[in-house]
Amino acid sequence: MYNYFRWFPDGKIVFAAPSRPLVMQQIEACHNIVGIPQEWTIDMTGQLSPSIRACYWKTKRVFFVTPQVLEKDIQSGTCLVKYLVCLVIDEAHRALGNYSYCTAVREVMSVPVQLRILALTATPGSKQQTIQLIIDNLHISTLEYRNENDDDVSPYVHNRKIELIEVAMGNEAAEIYNLFLDIIRPYVNKLSTFGLLQNRDYQTVWSLLGNCLLSPVDLLNSRDKFRQAPPPNLPHIKFGEVEASFGALITLYHIRRLLSSHGIRPAYEMLEQKLQQGPFARFMSKNEIIRKVKLLMQQSLAHGAPSPKLSKMLEVLVDHFKTKDPKHSRVIIFSNFRGSVRDIMSALANIGNLVKATEFIGQSSGKTLKGQSQKVQQAVLEKFRAGGYNVIVATSIGEEGLDIMEVDLVICFDANVSPLRMIQRMGRTGRKHDGRVDILFSSVLLVLACQGSELKGYMRKQASGKAIKKHMRNGGMNSFKFHPSPRMVPHIIKPEVQLVELSIEQFVSRGKKVKGDQAIETPVCKDKLTVAESEIIAKYFHPTSSNLGPSLIAFPHFQTFPSGVHKVVHSYRTGMLIDLMQHLQGLTFSRDGISFLEDEVASSKCLGVQTECEKKDEKDSLILDDIQGSKSPKQVTYSELSPIGTLRTKEKHSMPHFYETSPAAHAYLFGSDFVSVDALGNVLIVSLPSLPFEELSHSKSTRVSNTLVLNHMKQDSFHLKASDGNCNEITMQDKAVAEVTTSQTTYIKNGALQISSLCESGEQEEKMLDGFENILESPIVKRKLLNDGHIFSETLDVVEIKELSLLADEYNDDLRDTDLSPRLTNLVKSGVVPESPVNESGLLNSDERNEFLFQDLASPDKLRTEELTKSPNLGKMERGSTDDGTTGRNVSVSPVNKETQTPLLKMKRSRGRTILSPVTEEPETSLTNVRNSSSSRDWHLSPGDKSENVEPVRKFKRLCKAVDHGKNRNPLSMNENTVVAGVKLARSSCDTSSIQNKQGKGKTKLMEDVRAFIDEEAEVSSEVEISDDEEDDQDHNSHDDSFIDDRINPTAASTQIASGGVDMMAIYRRSLLSQSPLVRQPDFSSICSPDSAAPMTRTSESGSSSGKTLYSIQTPQIESKEQSASKNPAPVRINQEGITSETMPCATTDSIRENERSMENGKRKFSFYQSRSIPAINLEQQFSLQSEAAGIESCQQSEADKIETNGDALDDDQFYEYLDFDAVEEHAALLLKQKSEFTMHKQDITPGPKLQNLGVNDSPSFDLGI
């Protein structure tokens, strides 16, 4: 086998053994002898499923199988027959008839396959015919015979003494035995008369019977013969009689044999059993002799009836164990019948402790005795080997193949078995041969035979066995016919005998033994640990692990890049985490910029507060006082960092509060929140998840939350530092410039606005949702957590910002007010993008302030546009954190400008408003927001003429609405903004959009006017040489505009259609989308037009326009931003910044959104709605302008009209109406600061329509989303 294993590396070797225990045994034996590597071997029995076996057939090379498995697998084809090179068949004497060996070999031979079959057996057969059959079945070509005297066997054979003990049968038994003869005789006679007993006359039969030589087998053969070929002279009626006779005979013989070999008890039980049922009972029940026999047996049993054999056996056993150590000696007692096994067992039980006996029987369950399952058998053998038992009482199952080394006594309880089985029985002993260990055991084969017939039978069988041995001699060449088999090894190769020392690894058995090992091991493990050690374990592994574990979220920054690995490579999930964290961090970067802006804004607010404090005596002292009062705590809060967040949150809250009036508004708010995350920040984000928008918002919200937290942290730190720096700067500016007053006023206004917003927010908060506050609190906590990590970077940024601010201060000599904004922008830029700010600052230095502003704005705008373009190009991912950050920063810069500007405007307006209507806080805020946006633009313009700008701005808004004013202001702005041509161009684009919107509205006149203005502005801009950057911006704007225009056109159409009531949904969507951008654009344009004087604002507008384009693309975010901006100045800025920063993600997301526009549409719609609701304010201005242009009526009239229209008009109209209302409110506030009642009414009206709008929007949005 081993040679074949070496010779045929691809060949499969099969070792077949008839039973499972044998298979297990052989695999180990083979391993230990030749050392076939265990990885190539596998044992397969019927317990393995065929599929697993098929797998093994492919992968393994040496198989230890049961013949049934082999047969089945060959038939099913899973066994790769063609690779078979060697088939070893153990216990080959079983290869008779249809046994699996035969079929398997037949199958194999039917395939033309060259293989060697090696058949092993200790007992080839008792007759020449059977041996020949085996040879035929297995295609044996050579027979090698060894007996114990041969040279190569004798080393392994040990002294084996066969002792034949004759035991005389008991008297009673003998009597019964003879009685049975009497019973049998008539039947034999009958059969003999029919000539059915095998050519033997009655006398021979009788003699045979008398000697117990006529075995049941003979009778069976006779019966078979009779059945197959009944004698022709026999009438059919006799058949039954003959059959009955045969049956009775067989039974009687059986009982008699039991009696002779095993004693009375088994015979009696057998007889009893037979008599109770079946034909035998009917046949024999009337026989008197039978009754007599039965009686006798009962009597003898009643005496105890010790069987002489049993007693002798016990004697022998006790003697054996006296000489041998009971712990190391093993005895097997064979008996043919289970009944006698039981007798033996009961007898053994009386011996005492020396003998620990167990039975070892087959699986089949008889009527009286239950069989042993294979598991039980294995367990018995296991225990027998280990020493748990030292005596096994076995039936024939124990005869074959059991390899139990220590067995040194085998007792055959009945000798009357075939020589084959005798040899097998003998084989169980004398195995203690390790080759090296030469301990000779005087093994004994003890045969207990009864006198007489049994002894004779034994002798006869021994004789026939000897005859067979003779046949075997000389390889059986003379006696048997062999089958040629091919030579497996090529003739070229002459195998040489070589003595090789094999190093064999220790055999590791599978399965069960492992368990045993472990069972032994575990207690050992227990013992190895000392008490102290186990105490330590108990100490460190608390049942309740309340210990603070390491934090997984402590260092999010470290999760944005793969950490160094030692041996374990990063998993796929880690890659996902890194990607995700990079996304989040990227957002955080951009938002950081935003946060900076916010910080700056906050600082500006602080500054404004300070200025306000300084100028408390000045205008609006009362309001200022209030503001101051509110501001002082605010300042304190600012100093505390967190308060800022709270203020913002409050502002945000105020925003949500407005919307909260209507549940639909909530959705809007949420949408806007998540879109405008920055502005609304934590609250919105927190609230978002609850909303149905969750799908869209989740990712955003998560990012937003993270970014927000970061931002807040940064903001907080920033605020402290920035506030200081800003305060210083502001103070400086205030001192230096006469215009400082304006700036101060603006600051004051900002502060007032903030205060108002804060107040409002506070009120609203009180009124409104507590949940928001809770949400805010949680974010704050997060912020705090984040603060620790981010403070360092923030501080650095702050330092940079300060430096930049200083530079900016130096550069800015002319107008510090304007400088402030640039500074802020610069600061923002520096904070966000340290690199770009320097250049910008340089530019600012070289050029005029406006130009600086312009350039700055333009550059950011360009950057934005570039970023925008890049961002989509780059993909949706924000991995390009630098780009994103820059974009976000740029964006933030522009927002900063806007913010700075806006606060001023807001301040101005807020003053009026605050003065006019403190009560109407909400509308004021909205107005302030709108005004702020416009004011921010104005503010840019304002540096030169703040008051004028503000007024013009207002006028512009109004005028823009009413073209004339806009024109007037535009020229002013043109004059002022000669440098701002680019801005104007952007504005023009915006204007065009607005014009288009207007056209859509049918306000051609206004459009024309606006166009004219735009043209003029464009001309101015063309005149201005700054156009390059601006042109780029314009281009971008134009692109944006084109988008916008496209949208606008459809929107206009849609608006018209909407008015027509056709395709409300699509129209709404388009209108919303188009309107939101359009509105925003118009707002921007309006702002721009007023801001014409202020290139900064325009640039910011251009940025906004770019933002708008982005908005148009990313409308939801932009809208939300706009909304936020409109609502609160600071939030507006933040929003804008956030928007810009968001635009980056948006841009990235834009592609996605575009792809998923259907999905996004819903979002956009929401955003649009939000934007409308919020932008509505912005739009309101435009709308109001339009409405004014259309109506050219007084604000009140327009308001009334609008209100009326609101009530009557469609949703779009309502939106417009809302816009109108806001615009009206604004107009009122701006123009005359009309009665608070109006504003109140307007406010009241506005919420209602807003609610309606929201509701309307919601329904359409849902539809659209679908």
User: Token digits for 111?
Assistant: 């395939």
Nearer Cβ to another protein (538/781): 538
Give CA 750 to chain center in angstroms: 52
Name the minimum Å distance from CB 543 to another protein: 5
Quote the least distance from Cβ 62 to another protein, whole Å.
23
User: Judged by CB, which is closer to another protein: 237, or 520?
Assistant: 520
Q: In the bound complex, what is the minimum distance in angstroms from residue 541's beta carbon to another protein? A: 5
Residue with Cβ nearer another protein (38 or 936): 38
CA distance 842 to 903: 26
Query: Based on CB atoms, which residue is closest to another protein, 396 or 793?
Result: 793
Identify the DSSP state of 236.
T
Shortest distance (Å) from residue 642 CB to another protein: 24
Q: What are phi and psi of 410, to 5 degrees?
A: -120, 125
The encoded tokens of residue 351 equal: 């011996």
Task: Tell me the C-alpha distance between 874 and 897, whole Å.
Answer: 28
CB nearer to another protein: pick between 573 and 735: 573
Q: How far is the CB of 528 from another protein (least distance, A)?
A: 4
Shortest reach from residue 578's CB to another protein, in Å = 7
Sheet strand arrangement including 330-334? 160-167, 443-450, 407-412, 330-334, 391-394, 357-360
H or E stretch including 791?
A: helix 770-811
3-state secondary structure of 707: helix
State in angstroms the smallest separation of the CB of 228 from another protein: 55
Burial of residue 784 (CB within 10 Å: 0-12, 13-18, 19+) is: middle
Nearest approach in angstroms of CB 381 to another protein is 23
Our separate counts of H helices and E strands in the chain read: 47, 11
416: closest CA among 380, 450, 373, 389?
A: 450
Contact between 861 and 1107 under an 8 Å Cβ cutoff? The reply is no
Nearer Cβ to another protein (456/557)? 557
Cβ count within 10 A of residue 575: 11
DSSP per position, 1007-1036:
HHHHHHHHHHHHHHHHHSTTHHHHHHHHHH
Taking the CB of residue 540, how many other CB atoms lie within 10 A of it? Answer: 9
Closest CB to another protein among residues 229, 569: 569
Beta carbon of residue 519, minimum distance to another protein (angstroms, whole number):
9
In angstroms, what is the minimal distance from the CB of 530 to another protein? 10
Give whichever of 494 and 542 is closer to another protein, judged by the CB atom.
Answer: 542
Q: Which of 1027, 989, 1025 is nearest to 1010 (CA)?
A: 989
| Closer residue to another protein (CB): 789 or 918 | 789
CA 616 to chain centre: 64
Query: Residues 79, 70: contact at Cβ < 8 Å?
Result: yes
Q: Residue 910, Cα to own-chain centre: how many angstroms?
A: 56
Residue 98 vs 571, nearer CB to another protein: 571
**Beta carbon nearer to another protein, 706 or 1128:** 706
Which residues bind to another protein, rule: CB under 8 A?
514-515, 517-518, 521-522, 524-526, 528-529, 533-534, 537-538, 541, 543, 550-555, 558-559, 562-571, 573-574, 577-578
Closer of 490 and 550 to another protein (Cβ): 550
Looking at the Cβ atoms of 567 and 767, the one nearer to another protein is: 567
CA–CA distance, 1050 with 502 (Å, rounded to integer): 91
Which tokens is 1058 given? 């909407």
- Cβ atoms 1256, 1245 nearer than 8 A: no
Amino acid at 872: P
Rounded Cα distance between 407 and 1180, Å, is 108
Rounded Cα–Cα distance for residues 957 and 162 (Å):
128
- Residue with Cβ nearer another protein (315 or 533): 533
To the nearest whole angstrom, how small is the minimum distance from the Cβ of residue 522 to another protein? Answer: 7
Let me know: does 840 contact 890? Beta carbons within 8 Å: no
Q: Least distance to another protein from the beta carbon of 520, Å?
A: 9
Label the pairing between strands 62-65 and 41-44: parallel
Rounded to a whole number of angstroms, the minimum distance from the CB of residue 556 to another protein is: 9
Between CA 818 and CA 825 the distance in angstroms is: 10
Using N-to-C axis directions, what is the helix angle for 816-832 and 921-941, rounded to 10°? 100
Q: Alpha-carbon distance 593 to 1145, whole Å?
A: 13
Q: Write down the H helix ranges in 287-398.
A: 288-302, 308-323, 338-349, 374-386
- Ramachandran category for residue 1192: left, alpha or beta (phi over 0 → left; psi -120 to 50 → alpha): left
Residue 538, C-beta contacts closer than 8 angstroms, at least 6 positions apart: none
Distance of CA 1056 to the CA centre of its chain: 52
Q: How far is the CB of 132 from another protein (least distance, A)?
A: 51
How near is the Cβ of 792 to another protein at its closest, in Å?
A: 13
Strand segments (E) across 773-832: none
Radius of gyration of the chain from its Cα atoms, rounded to whole angstroms: 54
Least gap, CB of 515 to another protein (angstroms): 7
| Closer by beta carbon to another protein, 487 or else 542 | 542
Residue 305 gets the label, from left (phi > 0), alpha (psi -120 to 50) or beta, of: left
Closest CB to another protein among residues 329, 705: 705
Residue closer to another protein (CB basis): 580 or 1240: 580
Q: For another protein, which is the closer residue by CB, 538 or 919?
A: 538
Burial of 745 (0-12, 13-18, 19+ CB in 10 A): buried
Shortest CB 505 distance to another protein, Å: 17
Minimum CB separation of residue 568 from another protein in Å reads: 5
Closest CA to 1066 of 1078, 1048, 1081, 1051: 1051
